[in-house]
Amino acid sequence: MAQQLPQIHSVHSSQRRPAHGSARPAAPSLLARVPWGFLAVIAVLVAYGLVVCWSAVQGDADYNFSRQLQGVAVGLVAMVALWAFDYRRLSNLTTALLVINVVLILLPHIPGLGTDAGMGAKSWIKIGMQVQPGEFAKVTVVLFAASLLARYQGTLDDWREYCKVLGMLLVPFAAIMTQPDLGTGLVYMAISAVVLVMGGAKGRYLLITLIAGIAAIAAVFAVDELLKYQQSDGTWEYRLLKNYQRSRLLVFLNPEGDLSGDGYNLAQAKIAIGSGGLFGKGIGNATQSTHGFLPEAPTDFIFCVLAEEFGFVGVMALLGLYALLIVACLSIARRADNLFGMLIVMGVIGMWLFQILENIGMDCGLMPITGIPLPFVSYGSSFMVVNFALIGLIGSVYSHTSTQSGFARTPSHGRKAS
C-alpha cells in the first residue's frame, strides 16, 4: 500500500462550483440538515425499547435500569458530536482505524484492566465502571471497512487485491476471538460482508469466500473432535471451541436434545413468545421472566419479554419501526455523494439487520443461540452508546451531502488500494 491514496470526492463537485463573479450559495441551516423523519423513528424506537427494558429488569438485582438511562444520555452526546463532525476527514485513515480497532478489542487482555465476562470470555474492562471495548470497536469496524473499500472506487475485481482486502477485514474478527467473543465477531463479519458487496467485490470471489467459510467451520468441528480430551470429572473438553459454543449450535440442530441446558433456554423462549397471544399480558406481567424461567431476559432474550407483554401487535410494531429505520437509512445511503459515505451507512444497516435477524431468530429457534443483543431494546449501556454513535455517523453523512444527491462510481479494473 505504497501508492498515493485517492481522495474521495463528489462527482457533482464541478457542477456545484459557482461561476466566476456569481455569489456563493448560502449554506443550509442546521435545521435544514436534520432528517426529522429519521430522528422521529429513532425516538419512538428508543422509547419503546426503554419501556420493555424497564419491565425486563424489574426484580432482577443483576441489572440497574439507571445504567440504561445513562447509556442513552452518553449516547445522545456522542450522536450530536459525530453528527457535527465531517466524516470525510476519516476517509484516508484506513491504517489508523485498523490500529484503533485492534487496540480497543485487545484492551481486556491488559492485566488489572480486563474483567471476566463469564463462560471464560474476557470482554470487559473496569475504569470506574464496566465497559465493553468490543462494542465500541463496532464503530471503528464500520469506518475501517468503508475506508478500505472506498479506495477501489466501486470495483474490486483483482484476485490479489481481493485477498489483501479480505485479510485486512479478518483482523478485527481474529482479535475479538482472542477473548473469545464469537457473537461480536459475527457482527464484525456481517459489517464486512455488506461493505464488500456494496464496495464492488466481484461476485465470484464472494461465492468462493462463502464456500471457504463454510468449509472452515466444518473443519473446526472435525479437528475439535480429534483434539478433545476427557477431564477428571468425566466430561469432555474441546480445544478450539468452548463447550457452550458447541452446545448452542447442537441445540439449534436438535432443540429437543438437551432440555436441561441451552435447549431449556430455547424452550422457555418459545413458551414466552407463544403465551403473549395477540395483545399480550400487559406491561410487567411477563411471567416467564419475572418467575425466573427465562434466563438473561433483559439482554439476549428481551424479545421474548416484549412478545409476552405486548403480544403479536407489539412484535409487529417493533418490526415496523425497524423497517422504517432501515428504509430511512437506505434513503440516506442513496443520497450520499461519495462511496465512503454510502459504505458507512450500508455497514451500519448490515450490522443492525444482522443483529435483529439473529436475536429474534434465536429466540424463535430459527438461528443458533448467541449473545447478540437487539438494537435499541436490549439492556446494555455500552451497546446503547454505540447505537447512538452510529446514528451520529449516519447523520454526518446526511448533513455533509450536497443537495444534488447521488454519486456515480468511477469504473476501474482491479484498482489497487494504497
Between residues 168 and 412, the one the model is more confident about: 168
What CA–CA distance (Å, rounded) separates 301 from 194?
26
Q: What is the mean pLDDT of residues 165-170?
A: 95
- Give the 3-state secondary structure of residue 259: coil
Q: How far apart are CA 114 and CA 33, in angstroms?
A: 41
What is the rounded distance in angstroms from the CA atom of residue 137 to the CA atom of residue 345?
16
Q: Widest CA span of the chain, in angstroms? A: 86
Nearest to 396 by CA among 341, 348, 352: 341
Alpha carbon 31 to chain centroid, angstroms: 29
Task: Classify residue 297: in a domain, yes or no.
Answer: yes
Q: How many CB atoms lie within 10 A of CB 284?
A: 12
Q: Is 391 inside any structural domain?
A: yes
The cell for 339 is: 462511496
CA 135, CA 171: separation in Å to the nearest integer? 16
The C-alpha atoms of residue 148 and residue 151 are separated, in whole angstroms, by: 6
- Using alpha carbons, list the distances in angstroms from residue 107 to 127, 130, 175, 290, 371: 11, 12, 11, 35, 20
Residue 117 corresponds to which amino acid?
A
123, pLDDT greater than 90: no
Q: What is the pLDDT of residues 261-310, one digit of tens each?
A: 667 778 888 888 888 889 888 888 787 777 767 778 888 889 999 999 99
Domain range for 177 is 47-201+242-399
Beta bridge partners of 115: 124
User: pTM to 2 decimals?
Assistant: 0.84
Q: What is the pLDDT of residues 41-87, one digit of tens each?
A: 999 999 999 999 999 888 777 788 999 999 999 999 999 999 999 99
Q: What are 236's strand-pairing partners?
A: 230
In a domain? residue 24: no
Residue 27 within any structural domain of the chain: no
Q: Residue 89 is which amino acid?
A: R
| Structural domains of the chain, count | 1
Tell me whether residue 129 is in a domain: yes
Residue 207, number of CB atoms within 10 A of its CB: 10
pLDDT of residue 182: 84
Residue matched to cell numbers 491488559 = 110
Q: How confident is the model at residue 398 (pLDDT cuts 50, 70, 90)?
A: very high
Residue 325 within any structural domain of the chain: yes
Query: How far apart are alpha carbons 403 and 337 in whole angstroms?
Result: 9
CA distances, 390 to each of 21, 253, 304, 394, 412 (Å): 41, 34, 26, 6, 30
State how far the Cα of 375 lies from the Cα of 357, in Å rounded to an integer.
Answer: 11
Contact 405, 337 (CB under 8 A): yes
Q: Is residue 11 part of a domain?
A: no
Comparison of pLDDT for 368 and 324, the residue scoring more: 324
HSE, side-chain direction, 13 A CA sphere, residue 116: 3
Q: CB–CB of 146/336 below 8 Å?
A: no
- Domain for residue 149, yes or no? yes
